[in-house]
Structure 1
Amino acid sequence: MDHESDQATRAVLEPRHPVGSPEGELPPGGDDPIMPGDHFIIDLDGTLLRGGVATEGGQAFLRGVEGRFVLVSNNSRDVSPSLSAKLRRVGLDIPAERMVLAGEETIGFVASRFPGARCLIAASPTLRHHARRQGLAPVTERADVVVLGRDTSWSYAKLMLLANEVCRGAVLIAANPDLTHPGNDGLIVPETGSLLAAVEAASGVGATHVIGKPAATLFVAALERLGSARHDTIVIGDNPLTDRAGARALGLRSLIVDADRLGGQPNLADLCDRLAPINSA
């Protein structure tokens, strides 16, 4: 890969952190209705799952929209088959072919844009293995591309390595911009966006691409998987800054849920009650 020819596209950028950042603004408007014949793009963390436990009404809701949904998640550690198996163990039956995951899509994007590239992948072993299967060459130095996911083995030494690789000229690509996702008992779980913020701050270079929500990539992939049109597809999620903002940007309807019904928002059990008369109509 010719680093010099790509200098213009790797100019120092303002870090982009729309999720959970002080600059993030809630998209205007409220919740949209579920309509007869709708297809569903459904979020995972905070919506169907929280802290490794299925949320109230999660599996019942999936049954109610069976054959008409795709899971779209900023998950940047798993691939679809492994995540499907994990979810089955907590009572959520979602086939791998009904998943669009940020980490998996990021590896696919890099493989198509930079085939055979030397990649320094700060992510899970699962994603590194997936990268090899996609023809990429995971390395520990002199990378063409730095790929960033939710790396639970993060360290100061790794930050130093990534920052210097980016300063040397490697392209920086992140799986998602999320700063955190919700864990058990109100705990926050640091996400890819927090690690991205550190790399951008240390290197002074912004990511050229951030693949996950609220960007369009995952939503467009979900629409293709569903075979649905935008007017008959609704996004169900817990985060207005990713789920609603991404939906609005593509002209999709959205509905925000909260597992604990905070702020008067419904949870998935409540949506099951709304689905019943629609499905029987």
Structure 2
Amino acid sequence: MDKRIGDPPTCHPVLDARHVAQARIVLCDLDGCLISEGRAFDEAPDFVAGCGDRLWIVSNRSDMTAAALAQQLARLQLDIPRDRILLAGECALSHLAETGLNRLRLQAAEPLRKLAVEMGFELNHPLPQAVLLCRDPKLTVDGFGSLLNDLDRDIPLWIANEDLSHPGLDGRVVAETGALLAALRAIRPQLGWHTVGKPHPYMLHHALDAAGIAPEAAIFLGDNPDTDGRAARRAGVPFLQIDRSLAR
């Protein structure tokens, strides 16, 4: 691979396995790179097949589990096993479990809530040890007050990711977890939080450690230089940006 850490990111309009042929591990964002609104981009199946077992998904998704996503991707002819799919919501739950927390205020879609219960979290305790905010389409203005009341008791806030949105089909905007955080901060501007989602390098480090691959032997493909690119820099991994506007 000619690219070196610290070089400006290379941009390509589509995924192409030839661009990552020399990488020992290929880390790839999901929405905007492989799929959009549940549909695979045309070149995605060939890219996945060309990367083989070097490919890991590293996504800020926080509304589903890796197991469910693997099944969804298989229906799109994208065969990626669940143990090579890292999703910010699921990773946040795993991280909190590793810290020993078991009482959690979880604001998330039902698949994440079900997983949390299976992991042993108590979700309805009156004194939670942490609040975790994931993408939750059911959260309304009426729910913000309850969340902030918990946080006013100095309970730490964790969020799955800071993304305000991700790209949908034809460039349409899909609101993300960061938009919920922004709404909370409009009420409490001083609100602080923790995250394992990109641009934090947590998920990239996890994939590299699991594969036993050094950062300089990897490559990370993403469509968002502010989150994907920053995460790559922080992990010391070369970054290749997928910019589909170049193909228009």
- Normalization by structure 2: what TM-score? 0.88
Contact 1:41 1:70 in 2 (8 A): yes
Q: Of the candidates 66, 69, 72, which is equivalent to residue 55 of structure 2?
A: 69
Quote the residue 1:46 is aligned against. 32
In the alignment, is residue 127 of structure 1 matched against residue 112 of structure 2? yes
State the Cα distance separating 1:250 from its structure 2 match: 1.8
Quote the residue 2:239 is aligned against. 254
- Alpha-carbon distance change, 85 to 264 in structure 1, aligned in 2, over 3 angstroms: closer
Quote the residue 1:227 is aligned against. 212
Quote the residue 2:41 is aligned against. 55
Structure 1, unpaired ranges of 5+ = 1-26, 266-281
Q: Of the candidates 6, 13, 31, which is equivalent to residue 10 of structure 2?
A: 31
Distance 1:207 1:101 in 2: 22
- Normalization by structure 1: what TM-score? 0.78
State the Cα distance separating 1:37 from its structure 2 match: 4.5
Structure 2, unpaired ranges of 5+ = 1-5, 12-18
Distance 1:50 1:140 in 2: 37
Distance 1:221 1:206 in 2: 28
Distance 2:59 2:119 in 1: 21
Aligned residue for 1:138, secondary structure, equals coil
In the alignment, is residue 165 of structure 1 matched against residue 150 of structure 2? yes
Distance 1:254 1:78 in 2: 26
State the Cα distance separating 1:89 from its structure 2 match: 2.1
Contact 2:101 2:129 in 1 (8 A): no
Contact 1:69 1:226 in 2 (8 A): no
Q: Of the candidates 84, 90, 95, which is equivalent to residue 81 of structure 2?
A: 95
Q: Which moved more, 1:108-117 or 1:44-53?
A: 108-117
Distance 1:86 1:40 in 2: 20
Quote the residue 1:24 is aligned against. none
State the Cα distance separating 1:229 from its structure 2 match: 1.1
Moved over 3 A (4+): 32-35
Figure out how many residues of one structure are paired with residues of the other and give that number: 236
Aligned residue for 2:53, secondary structure, equals coil
Q: Which amino acid aligns with 2:99?
A: R
Contact 2:161 2:198 in 1 (8 A): yes
